[in-house]
Structures are given as structure tokens and as C-alpha cells.
Amino acid sequence: MKILILGAGGQLGSELVNILQDDTLIPLTHRDIEMTDEQQVNNILSSNMPDIVINTAAYHRVDDCEDNVEQSFAVNSFAVRNMARICNELGITFVHFSTDYVFGGRKRIPYNEDNCPNPLSVYAVSKLAGELFVKNICSKFYVIRTCGLYGAKGVSGKGGNFIETMIKLAESGRNIRVVSDQIVTPTYARELAAKVSQLIRTGKYGLYHITNNGGCSWHQFAGAIFEMTGIKADLSPVSSSEFGARARRPLYSVLENRNLKQLGLDDMRQWRDALKEYLVEKGYIR
Ligand SMILES: NC(=O)c1ccc[n+]([C@@H]2O[C@H](COP(=O)([O-])OP(=O)(O)OC[C@H]3O[C@@H](n4cnc5c(N)ncnc54)[C@H](OP(=O)(O)O)[C@@H]3O)[C@@H](O)[C@H]2O)c1
């Protein structure tokens, strides 16, 4: 298949580029394309005519989104709407990524695809709007919500990923305060990319949750990183309110991969097993 990837330089995009090597790939980084430039997107899509467009690009510095509302909506909602419209007109399947943050966090059991969103932040509202545009415009689409992504490449705008940040902080000997009242599922971008590669060949269009399985707080995740690597760290739990981030985040946003399960495709590993594989691949443990 001919597949065009937006955000190919990002942590998920780069894993997709690796995993989709047997397809004909058009990997585009931010330097190659500005997704808010409708004319440029139209020219690139209509001249390449891929079978599938995968959009991993987003404006997702969650706290900054609170101050930059227009940019959040320009990238996460309106650019996505334009891309959805162009894909639909050209008969291209559109694959788009969204977030666990579309949920409000009141539940205490995993959210499935039928649960009602209740986004708490500008970022989350803009991502939900993006999802709805795709769903309402495209006849052939996959909207994939994921959670707590980490990958070898790291997120450029966030200075790496959570694991690398924790390891760097521990090595600096500083006290590390990590929130203990937000429950998520850390998800390995490589495993997600492999699952996306499978899913997009099924023709079973729709909304999917795809994360590793199980859940933990960010504090427990940090604890597991230090326990597995044997790195000594001065780690303390803090509450979200003590931490005082600008954007509100759900206190619980574990997702159930229910639609994936119904296709018989949910063999996503427990988050601890995926973390171990990442640490082995990065050479932290054997
Ligand atoms: N990271 C998480 O924990 C997480 C959790 C849930 C859902 N998600 C969703 O998963 C998807 C992938 O996330 P990720 O962690 O792989 O992000 P990432 O590493 O930041 O990758 C996104 C890529 O998109 C590019 N990009 C940003 N704005 C663009 C624009 N206007 N035009 C063209 N390219 C642009 C970025 O390039 P520059 O850096 O050069 O701007 C970056 O290389 C996103 O939709 C995100 O909302 C992420």
C-alpha cells in the first residue's frame, strides 16, 4: 500500500516509518509539510495519491495549549478537518490519533469507545473536535485514541519522553516529584505502531482505543523505571493540585481496547512488560 505519514519525525511517526517498511512510504516531517497550510496539504495529497494518510502530528504541549487556544484549534481541529475533507474527496483512508484526555476521569474502570467524552482542557477539547470532524467527514477512517506514549525518539517539544526525563533527573541527584493521583496506561510507541499496521489492513473503519494494558499512576510508572533499572532516585509522590500544572488532566484515563478486542486483535502487553522491552532496547537493562 502507498502510505503517507505526517509527523514522521515524531516518536510515534518514526516508529510507524520503521514498521511500515514493506509498504510504499511517503514520510513527511514538519519541515516537509505544514499541516495548517490547506493548499500545501491539498497539493501534496493530490500529487501523491496515497491509499492511506496517517496523521500523527499534533500540538500537544498540554499546558501551553491553555494559553495558545487558537494554535491548538488550528492544528488539532481545523487542520484535521481540512485533511479529512481532502482525503474523503480523493478516496483516501484517513488514520488520525487522539488522546485519553478526551475523558473527564470520573470513572474508576477503563473507558471504552462508547463512553461519553468530557474533556477538561483546551488541548483535550481541540483533540475531541478533531476526532468529530474525521468521524463526520470521512467514509474511510480510523481514529485511534492512545495514552502516555513513550518511544525511542522522544517528543521534540517536551525534551524527550517521560522515561528518559526520569532517568536524567535521577542522575542529577535531585528530588523528583511525580503526580500520584492521575492513573494512566503508559504505552510503548513501537507496540502501538505495530498494532496500527495490523488494524489499517482490516478495512474495519471506526474509533479505536489502543494502549498497553493495565494502569498505574505516573508516580508508580517512575517507581517501576527505577526498580527495573536499579537506578537510585529520590522519588516523592505529589497530588495534581500540589503539582499545579496549568491544564486540568483527568484523574483516571485508562482506556479499554474494546473495539480492538472485538476484532480479536488486542494482544497489547501489560505496561510493565512493554516498559521492560523499551529499557532492554535502550540498553538500560539486559
Ligand atoms: N505523547 C503522548 O503521551 C500522547 C498521548 C496520547 C495521545 N497522543 C497523540 O498521539 C499522536 C502522536 O504523538 P507523539 O508523541 O508521537 O508526538 P510528537 O513526537 O510530538 O510527534 C508529532 C510530530 O508532528 C510534527 N508537527 C507538529 N505540528 C505540526 C504541524 N503543524 N505540521 C506538520 N507537522 C507538525 C512535530 O514536528 P516538530 O516537533 O518539529 O514541530 C512532530 O515531529 C498525537 O496526535 C498526540 O496528540 C500522544
pLDDT tens for the chain, 286 residues long, are 999 999 999 999 999 999 999 999 999 999 999 999 999 999 999 999 999 999 999 999 999 999 999 999 999 999 999 999 999 999 999 999 999 999 999 999 999 999 999 999 999 999 999 999 999 999 999 999 999 999 998 776 566 899 999 999 999 999 999 999 999 999 999 999 999 999 999 999 999 999 999 999 999 999 999 999 999 999 999 999 999 999 999 999 999 999 999 999 999 999 999 999 999 999 999 9
- Ligand 1 atom showing the smallest separation from residue 162 Cα: 3
Q: Is the CB of 9 under 6 A from ligand 1?
A: yes
Indicate the top mutation candidate among 77, 81, 97 to test ligand 1's pocket, ranked by most ligand atoms within 8 A of CB. Answer: 97
Catalytic residue among 101, 111, 123, 142: 123
Indicate the top mutation candidate among 28, 149, 150, 182 to test ligand 1's pocket, ranked by most ligand atoms within 8 A of CB. Answer: 149
Q: Are 61 and 99 in contact (CB under 8 A)?
A: no
Torsion, Cα of 173, 179, 180, 186 (10° steps): -90
Cα 64 to ligand 1 centroid, rounded to whole Å: 14
Q: Report how far residue 154's alpha carbon sits from residue 63's, in angstroms, rounded to the nearest whole number.
A: 18
Question: CB-based contacts of 87: which residues, under 8 Å, 6+ apart?
Answer: 45, 53, 93, 94, 138, 140, 141
pTM of the model: 0.97
The bridge status of strand 52-55 relative to strand 24-28 is unpaired
Nearest to 236 by CA among 226, 245, 247: 226
Q: Report how far residue 140's alpha carbon sits from residue 95's, in angstroms, rounded to the nearest whole number.
A: 9
Q: Are 35 and 57 in contact (CB under 8 A)?
A: yes
Per-residue pLDDT, 158: 63
- The separation between CA 148 and the C-alpha centre of its own chain, rounded to angstroms, equals 7
Q: Are 76 and 123 in contact (CB under 8 A)?
A: yes
- Side-chain-side CA neighbours of 230 within 13 Å: the count stands at 3
- The separation between CA 20 and the C-alpha centre of its own chain, rounded to angstroms, equals 18
Q: Are 76 and 130 in contact (CB under 8 A)?
A: yes
Indicate the top mutation candidate among 32, 56, 76, 143 to test ligand 1's pocket, ranked by most ligand atoms within 8 A of CB. Answer: 56
Q: Is the CB of 75 under 6 A from ligand 1?
A: yes
Per-residue pLDDT, 37: 98
Helices within 20-151 (DSSP H only): 38-48, 62-67, 69-73, 79-90, 122-137
Residue nearest to atom 40 of ligand 1 (CA): 30
The neighbouring-strand residues paired with 177 are 236
- Side-chain-side CA neighbours of 165 within 13 Å: the count stands at 17
Q: Report how far residue 67's alpha carbon sits from residue 63's, in angstroms, rounded to the nearest whole number.
A: 8
Q: Is the CB of 11 under 6 A from ligand 1?
A: yes
Per-residue pLDDT, 157: 58
